[in-house]
A and B are shown apart, each in its own frame.
Chain A
């Protein structure tokens, strides 16, 4: 009943829709519109281009390494932080958040300083003929750094909200540590975990700045999908750029839809729980 007058409401709605339309819907429409500008066959041709396929393959490889590692870290860190109270916890959480605020360019640069030709381990790596910078390992390292906090960030508040009661009950019933984790903790956090992994995957596949610094942009070898988009765009191949970009845009939309479904699902479960 207590609300703004109708004209004010209309103005606020218009401003909100305008803002969302301008900044969110226009870019999405531009990507998909641009991809299909030359018709569907051209789109398919662009996707099946050998360089595009190489970029997709490299991106998948990167994600295949990054996602499990950061997932393992995220779950472990969340367990330590959410389930125990210890000195230095706040500091630890701040440090985990670090990669969120560090510029991707700076993130890329620090790995160049470590492993690049002029870097600290550069001469040693050169002698042993190991290539990290301007090669796949560099891309993977930079991506791990950038996507480091996502799973932990998603799980910590969730696990804190759940409390320790259920785990403690399981322990008193004679369940071991691992068993308790897999049978009690994991089912409770499964939706948050799913979303965390999906977001982690989307960010890992889409990272541009940091990867751009360490990759060397060698077509067919060290080009991930976003880097390939950049190259196509800079060659004025707009349709090609948008076609490849639409793969990533699609991945982003799938991520958002998953988040919405999970939100809906958890609310549903909460209602059921309250009803019983």
Chain B
């Protein structure tokens, strides 16, 4: 099923939860709404499901306007952050609930529920109560339950939010594989950028009720279209300067600027991984001193003092750092390989 959202608005007590949001999802696509808490991403999802009624705007599912259609008839599968399993029913009864309330006979819904438990890798646990399952198992039951009624659309609201980091990564991979198999149009809401970038065909970054960027994961990371996206997705160094002769000078660093006129105040963002650090000049005129080194596992994070109170953060692969003998107090040369400039209202 495909979705089309047209100029959606929703206010809660005078505060805009969604402010003029439009986007579309094509059949079989996996799209993620990424944003901080309070950005309105969950509200969009709840509007699509019919759990909230938008103040204005339209929601089309397969070309049909569903804005006035009650939740029960939208045929969407919704997975909640805290699972929302019916705790007084067995796992099998939970999974079969959607079919049961539609008047499907017991034998039939039980069969279908067993099939789905197998799909999510929980066959044999149908007789348990939800309280006897682990967090990851519960979330998979919730997913099986949402899929059992054969929805045309799967909506996931922070589905891994209540799980620990390791389990979250496991389930993420598993979910992507499942999607590749069943090809169900899926809309995921999350605040976890790794989850969004790894899982989705397309990512919508939301902030303050608006969509900041709608692009493929790679483009979100490499070509952020707004300062918010650049700052929210991945780590960044953020500097502020004024354009002068198509250039911005910040301490010893210079950045080319062709799209801003002279005298414009701009914010410059670049990723610590986009900073090339070497012990030899290698054509770089900018040098600094390593102030601190922090071990992050595969990479090392260094704070480099550029003098006169200017400093930046750089991430260097562990092997490179060891080979070059980077230690605290060592003099290094740096080059910023990729940066993003944005019009800035904020102060330095």
Contacts and interface: CB of A to CB of B under 8 A. Distances in A.
Interface of A: 1-2
Interface in B51-73: 51-53, 71
A1 B53 CA distance: 8
Contacts of B71: 2
Nearest to B46: A1
5 contacts: A1-B51, A1-B52, A1-B53, A2-B51, A2-B71
B9 to A, nearest CB: 16
Contacts of B51: 1-2
A1 B71 CA distance: 11
Contacts of A2: 51, 71
Contacts of B52: 1
A172 to B, nearest CB: 34
B72 to A, nearest CB: 11
A61 B53 CA distance: 63
A2 B53 CA distance: 10
Interface in B221-259: none
Bin the interface of chain B by size: under 10
A1 B47 CA distance: 11
Q: Give chain B's interface secondary structure class.
A: loop
A1 B54 CA distance: 11
A1 B70 CA distance: 11
A8 to B, nearest CB: 14
B101 to A, nearest CB: 15
A3 to B, nearest CB: 12
B40 to A, nearest CB: 16
The 5 lowest CB-CB distance pairs between A and B, nearest first, are: A1-B52, A1-B51, A1-B53, A2-B51, A2-B71
Nearest to A2: B51
Nearest to B53: A1
Nearest to B52: A1
Contacts of B53: 1
Nearest to B50: A1
A48 B221 CA distance: 87
A1 B52 CA distance: 6
A1 B17 CA distance: 15
A2 to B, nearest CB: 7
A69 to B, nearest CB: 45
Nearest to B51: A1
A229 B17 CA distance: 61
Interface string B268-301: 0000000000000000000000000000000000
Contacts of A1: 51-53
A104 to B, nearest CB: 38
A21 B177 CA distance: 60
A2 B51 CA distance: 7
B77 to A, nearest CB: 17
A242 B71 CA distance: 55
A198 B71 CA distance: 49
A260 to B, nearest CB: 26
A13 to B, nearest CB: 22
A83 B51 CA distance: 45
A144 to B, nearest CB: 43
A5 to B, nearest CB: 10
A43 B129 CA distance: 64
A210 to B, nearest CB: 41
A1 B51 CA distance: 7
Interface in B30-54: 51-53
A140 to B, nearest CB: 48
A2 B52 CA distance: 8
Nearest to B71: A2
Interface in B300-347: none
A163 to B, nearest CB: 24
A213 B52 CA distance: 61
A225 to B, nearest CB: 48
A159 B123 CA distance: 45
A22 to B, nearest CB: 34
A144 B41 CA distance: 61
B286 to A, nearest CB: 48
A25 B71 CA distance: 40
B198 to A, nearest CB: 32
A46 to B, nearest CB: 53
A64 B85 CA distance: 54
A2 B80 CA distance: 15
A1 B49 CA distance: 12
A123 B267 CA distance: 100
B44 to A, nearest CB: 14
A107 to B, nearest CB: 39
B131 to A, nearest CB: 23
A272 to B, nearest CB: 23
A105 B175 CA distance: 67
A2 B49 CA distance: 12
A1 B50 CA distance: 9
